[in-house]
Chains A and B, each alone.
Chain A
Amino acid sequence: MMMDFANVPLWAAIVAAAFFVIGAGLTLLGTIGLATFPSFYARIHAPTLGSSWGAGGMVMGSMIVFSAASGRPVLHDILIGIFATVTTPVTLMMLGRASLYRDRSEGNPEVPPAPEAAANEPALAGEGGDAP
């Protein structure tokens, strides 16, 4: 396929740029949050800005630019968005559980106790299976 970025019309470029700015801005916000929020549990929420709308903005911008440049709809960028959305929560879940495990076994009063009554039972970290 021939691609010529000179073909991109001004209006498309403006829309795409807006998406890029939104995406980049949200990602920046997310990283600032990651660096400045007070507790671990708060901090792991901040990057989700980047992985949801941050990535989404980038994907939208990219789709617009490449569709305009190659003169046909280029939609497969959307796969990036889908896979990013599906896979990032895994990291968050595992990180959150590891942290919760550690806080509970250290007896940190700020985290809620384990759901069951067993008083000294520490909840468990998301260790990766019986192997490896």
Chain B
Amino acid sequence: MRDGSLLLVLILLPFVGAVLAALLRPNARNTEAWLAGSVAGGGLLVTLFAYPQVSDGGVIRYVIPWIPSLGLSVTLRMDGFAWMFSLLITGIGLLVVLYARYYMSPQDPVARFYALLLTFMGAMLGVVLSGNLILLAVFWELTSIVSFLLIGYWHQNESARAGARMALTITGAGGLFLFLGLILLGRIAGTYDLDGVLKAGDVIRAHPLYSTVLVLVLAGALTKSAQFPFHFWLPNAMAAPTPVSAYLHSATMVKAGVFLLARFWPVLSGTPEWFTIVGIAGLSTLLLGAYFAIFQQDIKGLLAYSTISHLGLITALLSFGSPLAAVAAIFHMANHATFKASLFMAAGIIDHETGTRDMRKLSGLFRFMPYTATLAMVASAAMAGVPLLNGFLSKEMFFSEALEEHHETILDTIAPYVAVAAGAFAVAYSARFIYSVFFGPKPTDLPHMPHEPPRWMRFPVELLVVICVLVGVVPNLTIGPFLRSAVISVLGPDTPAYSLSVWHGVNLPLIMSIASILGGLALYWFLRRELKIDADGAPGMRGIDGQRVFERILVAVSWRGARIAESWLTTTRLQPQLRLVVALAVLAGAWAMAGSWHLVPPVNLHGLDPVLGALWAVGMVCSVAAAWSARDHRLSALILVGGTGLVTCMSFIWLSAPDLAVTQLLVEIVTTALILLGLRWLPKREGLPPRKLDLMARYRRGRDLLIAVLAGTGLAGLAYFAMLMPRPPSVGDYYLEHAYVDGGGTNVVNVILVDFRGFDTAFEIVVLAIVALSVFALLRRFRPAEDNLDRPFQQQEQDANDEVRRDREVGDTLKDYMLVPSVIMRWMFPAISLFAAYLFLRGHDLPGGGFAAGVTLAIGFLLQYLAGGARWVEERLRILPVRWIAVGLLFSIGTGLGAILFGYPYLTSWFQYVEIPFIGKMPAASVLVFDLGIFWLVVGAIVLVLVAIAHQSLRTRTRRSAAERQEAA
């Protein structure tokens, strides 16, 4: 268990660190670096500490069951392969943090940077440590999102925004495919547990859905690892700060795709489909990436294409399907991470010290920064595959595997030639990078005078280069054992014998290596002049631009497609929208009910209480009359709707549901008053000529009437029949019995709301908050119709009157008229507040509760606005509805979390009687705090809507004066 908790610590540490980092001051560079460094260092120590348990095929597991019945659990799992990746993530993470301390300028908001970097570290650790497919998919998407945010870190930069969007679109879409694929995989294997899936390889490969799963999983893996034809997002992601490029876009995140391929290699590989798709993707990416890299002018662009090419190499190795090739692939993942991260950091140093990354401008930097230049040269040599460096070893393994016959296909035949060609290209772009940046004449027009970087900025590069050399010279003493654990954990008993030694004698792979090095140098020699003046992009390939294709598709889908869809499917008018929605609901209801007419019980009116019947007749008349008068007499319609509401309220009382009655009454009051206030902003009706009904209008009205009647009678019939159906065993009895025993309250409705179904309530109030915020957002931008811009007729007239008379000021008449009513309304405020408190406190045992109390207090505020106007109220009371909503949410959600602290499930309640002076013994349940949250949220939500309406009149006045000014000018 102790080892398992180790994994939990490892994965939580970065997330906790991210939260802390986000809370620091934006420019606390040193504190941030220390914090992030300690988190990464801590993660590194934990990883190292875990090694003994994962060597030789050991696996650490840690399971937190979540929904075991659905196979969902938080399963963390570390084996040798995951360990190797954890080491890369934490180790390179630590170096990147150190590097970023010197790279980021004091003006950059580093709090965001480090918080995102640590979040990424946690997400990436989550990807490699997930022992559950669903968890893996979640962390996978999280890495895409953080990558998006980090690429767009300098969001003032257009190219950063575009690059971030593109990366997210590609990798996010790939992640969705992967998610589908993983779900299918889990269904086929019968479990979402990674160990179970890895054991079910034969079942999966034989399953008819195998190719679907394969395509979906590959869609995720190949997009993430920037494989052809999805490679183009990676060069555009270079707009990110260089530490991000070094960390995410060379060492770790882009490795997630090949990590996934290797992880599922035992399950998915070995079939012709696998070899074809992965092989084509890998080999073409290897070759094209290397070819494009030669012709880049930006150092980071060159490195990005080189990364693409190396990832293609790994993919190609994995496609071969032989265990030895898998060994080489895993080995190259580690090697590439070390030398490419160091190269990116070196590129960042050059950019930082000279102010440019354009290789046409850079030259002869060796004399200014010999130390950095040497480091970069060693790392580039590793990238090119020069002997005695780590890149050479894995490249040799690749060459020998490419020579092996795996399948009888043309792809297999051309593999060695592709390998040599790509090797030659790699040598050419490495040589170009070294020669054009560090040698040649002195640079002429550099933004800064270059010099060596600070000592500790160079240190990460030094360390990584030393590792490259050590692994290259004595592989068996350095990476040997770790690689072995990683390989065993992927391949299991199939692990082949392999040799890591530098010298294998003169054989074909060595000859291929020599050929590619010489060929590459020759290629660079021929191209060197052209490269110095050439524009960006590779010759022969400028027309075929994945990026342009992507953009064209994006434009087609998101702009033209959306417009076409809009013109066909939507309307800007409310009436057709409502008609569509209601008609669809009618059709769906008819469809669902078709063929079940025999279930309808016989209609009988026997036993109908005449009083209740009469009451409902009144309600029905009110609602029909409201609909009738809605067009021309809005006020009467509103009053009639209120009548219907009152009838509903009275039927609740009649049926002994005082709680519902109280709530209904209060809600009725608030909605009626709010709609009444809103009526003033509707377009005016008076003065319109009576419309002549032509044929079309008659048809429209008839159709709408038909839809309305169908929907109304359908709903009424549905409700009627549902109530006549024999009652299923109800949970109501359970609640009645357990309300006091388990919930500590005698008001069953309230106990259900805040305790038994507290989770529902929590979400319902969240919905309420969202609704209030959307109403506010909509009304904030609301502009009334032209004829409503003026103040109401009466108001204008009375103000004009006041103005004419000498003894009166504008507004006096209003004041006189409102004198008595406003005094009464103001004096009602304390009474209503007290009533709200009363409703709130008695809620647990008697009708009332947080919701009713909240609505009551909101009515109090409403009266104040009516009595004195918005200005008067806001001068005297602090109206902060948004804050109230926030406080309410925090209270209600926080109470639920409190239960977790005491080891109970979310929203478990606690109650006891407490003695309060003057009031007496009172039940104090923890749900009271939950209810308090509901209370504040409801007050906030209603007052927010009220404020949104009330401020209309204030704002319109200022707007009109602006229009007048314009007229005068």
Q: Which residues of A contact B (CB under 8 A)?
A: 83, 86-87, 89-90, 93-94, 97, 101, 105, 116, 118, 121-132
Contacts and interface: CB of A to CB of B under 8 A. Distances in A.
Interface stretch (B49-57, B296-304, B543-551, B809-817): B809-817
Interface of B: 677, 680, 792, 794-795, 797-798, 801, 804-805, 811, 813-814, 817-818, 820-822, 824-825, 828, 831, 865-872, 946, 949-954
A111 to B, nearest CB: 16
B805 A93 contact: no
A122 B818 CA distance: 17
B801 A129 contact: no
A129 B821 contact: no
B865 A131 contact: yes
Given A90-B825, A124-B801, A132-B866, 14 more contacts: A86-B828, A87-B828, A105-B797, A124-B794, A124-B798, A127-B817, A128-B866, A129-B869, A129-B872, A131-B952, A132-B677, A132-B865, A132-B870, A132-B953
A7 B870 CA distance: 52
Given A93-B820, A101-B794, A130 B805 contact: no
29 contacts: A90-B820, A90-B821, A90-B824, A93-B820, A94-B821, A101-B794, A118-B801, A118-B804, A124-B794, A124-B797, A125-B794, A127-B794, A129-B814, A129-B866, A129-B867, A129-B868, A129-B869, A130-B795, A130-B814, A130-B870, A131-B871, A131-B950, A131-B954, A132-B677, A132-B865, A132-B866, A132-B949, A132-B952, A132-B953
A122 B792 CA distance: 15
Contacts of B677: 132
Contacts, number: 83
Given A87-B828, A121-B801, A125-B794, A130 B821 contact: no
Given A90-B824, A121-B801, A127 B795 contact: yes
- Classify the secondary structure of A's interface with B: loop
Nearest to A97: B817
Contact of B811 (A101, A123, A130, A132): A130
B870 A127 contact: no
A2 B954 CA distance: 54
A128 B869 CA distance: 8
B723 to A, nearest CB: 29
Nearest to A124: B798
Nearest to A91: B821
Contacts of A87: 824, 828
Nearest to B676: A128
Nearest to A120: B801
A118 B803 CA distance: 13
A101 B795 CA distance: 12
B593 to A, nearest CB: 43
A124 B821 contact: no
B954 A125 contact: no
Nearest to A86: B824
B821 A126 contact: yes
Contacts of A125: 794, 798, 817
A129 B821 CA distance: 11
A124 B795 CA distance: 8
Contacts of B820: 89-90, 93
Contact of A122 (B797, B817, B821, B824): B797
> In this complex, which of B804, B811, B817 has the most chain A Cβ atoms within 10 angstroms of its Cβ?
B817
Which 9 interchain pairs have the tightest Cβ spacing?
Answer: A129-B869, A124-B798, A132-B950, A131-B953, A131-B870, A90-B821, A130-B869, A131-B869, A124-B813
B561 to A, nearest CB: 42
Contacts of A89: 820, 824
Given A124-B794, A129-B866, A131-B954, A93 B814 contact: no
A116 to B, nearest CB: 8
A125 B805 CA distance: 18
A104 to B, nearest CB: 11
A5 B281 CA distance: 85
A72 to B, nearest CB: 15
Contacts of B794: 101, 124-125, 127
A59 B412 CA distance: 97
Nearest to A102: B794
